[in-house]
């Protein structure tokens, strides 16, 4: 019999719960004429790369910084055409292909400006690790005087943010 590895159950960190509270309070502030019972509580998770990225971007914005998610996947060219043949069946001819993106290879997942500092954040969950292109990108950012961080959980990112940008909180 093969032993199955059991994943530990996900539980939200205090930092994620704090982010949810901050985001919900901001929604209430932005919509003062909406009864509180109609404002849905904001929910976040950092158990996936997409979820962690959303947590980071939202927190930076709530803290007064600017942040955006960066995508460098390229785009799909679709040359397919669908038509009806002589016996009435639907047919598709052609193909799809991906073309390379125009962004910088190895670019970070999040680009932000916090208190005038350029910050690049690479999100890595689980056993994911940096590629050579990402390591080269990190070196170029740091050589130019920017800040580069690898975030593996929102709790870790939040602690780094508190230690690095204390003046934001005051």
Decide if 103 contacts 70 (C-beta within 8 A).
yes
* Structure confidence at residue 168 (pLDDT): 47
* Structure confidence at residue 170 (pLDDT): 45
Confidence grade of residue 104 (pLDDT, cut at 50, 70, 90)? confident
The 10s digit of each residue's pLDDT in 25-84 is 999 999 999 999 999 999 999 999 999 999 999 999 999 999 999 988 778 889 999 999
End-to-end alpha carbon distance in the chain: 58
Q: For the chain, how many residues are written?
A: 170
Boundaries of every domain in the chain: 14-169
**Mean pLDDT, residues 158-162 taken together:** 96
pTM of the entire structure?
0.81
Instruction: Select from 3.30.1490.190, 3.40.50.300, 3.30.9.10, 3.40.1350.10 the CATH code of 14-169.
Output: 3.40.1350.10
* Structure confidence at residue 167 (pLDDT): 57
């Amino acid at each position: 019999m093969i032993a199955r590895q059991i994943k530990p159950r996900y539980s939200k960190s205090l930092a994620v719960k704090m982010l949810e509270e901050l985001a919900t309070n901001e929604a209430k502030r932005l919509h003062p004429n909406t009864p509180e019972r109609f404002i849905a509580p904001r929910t976040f998770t950092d158990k996936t790369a997409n979820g962690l990225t959303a947590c980071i971007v939202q927190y930076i914005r709530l803290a007064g910084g600017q942040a955006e998610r960066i995508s460098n996947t390229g785009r799909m060219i679709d040359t397919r055409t669908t038509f009806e043949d002589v016996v009435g069946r639907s047919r598709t001819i052609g193909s799809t292909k991906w073309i390379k993106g125009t962004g910088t290879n190895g670019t970070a997942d999040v680009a932000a400006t916090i208190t005038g500092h350029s910050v690049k954040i690479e999100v890595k969950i689980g056993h994911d690790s940096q590629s050579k292109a990402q390591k080269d990108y990190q070196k170029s950012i740091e050589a130019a005087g920017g800040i580069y961080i690898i975030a593996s959980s929102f709790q870790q990112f939040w602690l780094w943010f508190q230690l690095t940008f204390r003046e934001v909180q005051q």
